[in-house]
Structure 1
Amino acid sequence: MKTLKLIAVCLFTTAYSFASISSSEKEALIAFYNSTNGDQWNASWDLGADVSTWYGVTIENNSIVELNLPFNNLQGELPQEIGTLTNLKKLNLGFNKISGVIPASLSNLKELTSLELFMNALEGNIPSELSELKKLQSLKLYSNKLSGDIPTELMELTNLKELLLGSNFLTGTIPTNINALSKLQKLSLMDNKLEGEIPTEIAQLGNLEELLLSSNNLTGDLPIEIVNLTKLNTVMVSDNNLKQEYISVSGKNPPGIMSINTNATAVLDIEKE
């Protein structure tokens, strides 16, 4: 009798474990697995096993909240089904070989706080639909093959602390409404094909710590107003078409003064309080 009860408990536990994830979320993961050649991953999934055992998948309250698969040899494209994982808070697929475009269905992931797709081979435009991810704090799309303008709609992501879009093929200008990102700490647009002047509105980003704009086609001057950014400790604006030539500086010079570059004729010091 005790043996039968034990078997019944085990069967119930197993059934409950498999039933804890919705079928739509599991189907979305399988579509993702198939679309990115899951059988070739460095750490693959046993599709016959419970989802809770799958590498890089984090489950809370019977929902998938994180998908972390960096350095895992993902190849292929991201499927539209990924937008079904509506409870996802973190998506990290960095350092892989994912190609194709960023699916607009990612806009369905309203709980997402971190979207990391850097160091892949993604192409096409940055979807303006990403502006619907109002809880997003970190957007890392650097080192891909993305093109087109920086969507002005991204400036609606007012919880962003990191906006890293460097090393792509982005064109156009830096949005002047960038000052809406009042919580921004790190801004990297380096190594693109951006034109126009550096907007003075950047000087309104009071929490900014890193400003990386080097290796573009930016013109004009580095706005003197950035002297007001008391938290700024890294500035890279070299290799542009600015009126004055600046070196790139990282760190704080004693006593709390950061020298942003300069030759003998162009010196800009930022005094910190």
Structure 2
Amino acid sequence: MKKSYTFLALIMFSFVMNASVSVSEKNALIKFYNATNGKNWITKWDLNTPVTSWFGVELQNDKVISIQLPSNNLVGELPSEISDLVYLKNLNLFKNDISGKIPASIGNMKSLESLRLSFNKLSGNIPESIGNATSLKTVEMFMNRLSGSIPSEIGKLSNLETLSLFNNELEGKIPATIYEMKNLKVLLLNSNKISGGISPSIANLTQLEHLSLFDNKMNGQVPFDIEKMNNLKEMNISYNMFSGLVSSSLSKLDVLNLTMINDKGLAVALPVKVDRNSALASED
């Protein structure tokens, strides 16, 4: 009986070691490895061994479902073939040296739930096609060199809970579609060049817990509708050019007490009206 168990164990071990991903997925991994200078990674892949042994790659039923390679000295650009990893759920390339544009093919990754590309040197626009990756729950691209406007198509990501794009060179207005993302819990757009105002529709973000628009070029009245957001735990919208009256509760909610930059480039605090109703009356 003992020999039978041993034999079965050997069969199972052999099966696991010989398990293989599809040709297209393996080719996509190899293309990704070469495009990001894999020979100089801190922890490298031995392309002559089974994919099951490749560092940071997780398989499930012979499908690549996760790539976790933070701080691994990836240098180069993301190849468009990354989208051939059609079962990929998590892509974590945090804190590497990846440059170039985010490939438009990212929108073909229908299974992708978490996209972490922060602390790299990515440039160019966020592709509009990202709105097609509708399984996404987390998008983190902070600390890059992304430019252009935030695509309105991002509002198609109805499952999105975290959108973190701070410390880039993004400009233009916040797309109206973002205010319809009912599952959003974290919205961090600070330290960009975003202009325009905050729509009163922000109150639609009933699940939002963290809001940061700090250090942009936004203006107009701060909407009192923010006070309707009962789940909001932390807010920082200071160092913009907002004007008008604010309520004391809004001022206290902001980390920097709604300190703005006036038309002379000086830091000033927005005037606070203790009685919110009178402040609303003044706004009207």
What TM-score do you get using the length of structure 1 for normalisation?
Answer: 0.74
**Aligned with 2:115 (options 91, 101, 107):** 91
**Aligned with 2:103 (options 50, 73, 79):** 79
**Aligned with 2:209 (options 180, 185, 197):** 185
* CA gap 1:73/1:219 in 2 versus in 1, 3 angstroms: same
Report deviation, 1:18: 2.3
For structure 2, list consecutive stretches of 5 or more residues without a partner in the other structure: 1-8, 64-86, 277-284
- 1:170 paired residue number: 194
Q: Quick one: distance in 2 between partners of 1:136 and 1:183?
A: 11
1:16 aligns with 2:28: no
- 1:104 paired residue number: 128
Q: Quick one: distance in 2 between partners of 1:268 and 1:49?
A: 68
Larger strand fraction of residues:
2
* CA gap 1:184/1:26 in 2 versus in 1, 3 angstroms: farther
Moved more, 199-208 or 78-87: 78-87
Q: Quick one: distance in 1 between partners of 2:45 and 2:164?
A: 25
- 2:171 paired residue number: 147
Name the Cα RMSD after superposition: 3.5
**Aligned with 1:238 (options 256, 259, 262):** 259
- 1:221 paired residue number: 245
**Aligned with 2:153 (options 126, 129, 132):** 129
- 1:65 paired residue number: 89
- 1:251 paired residue number: none
Report deviation, 1:103: 1.3
Moved more, 93-102 or 34-43: 34-43
What TM-score do you get using the length of structure 2 for normalisation?
Answer: 0.71
Q: Judge conservation of contact 1:142–1:166 (CA < 8 Å) in 2.
A: yes
Q: Quick one: distance in 2 between partners of 1:76 and 1:38?
A: 17
Report deviation, 1:74: 1.0
Q: Quick one: distance in 1 between partners of 2:33 and 2:173?
A: 31
**Aligned AA for 2:177?**
E
Q: Judge conservation of contact 2:246–2:273 (CA < 8 Å) in 1.
A: no
Q: Judge conservation of contact 1:93–1:117 (CA < 8 Å) in 2.
A: yes
Q: Judge conservation of contact 2:180–2:204 (CA < 8 Å) in 1.
A: yes
**Aligned AA for 1:208?**
L
Q: Judge conservation of contact 1:57–1:68 (CA < 8 Å) in 2.
A: no
Report deviation, 1:33: 5.9
**Secondary structure of the corresponding residue to residue 88 of structure 2:** strand
Q: Quick one: distance in 1 between partners of 2:40 and 2:197?
A: 40
Report deviation, 1:139: 0.3
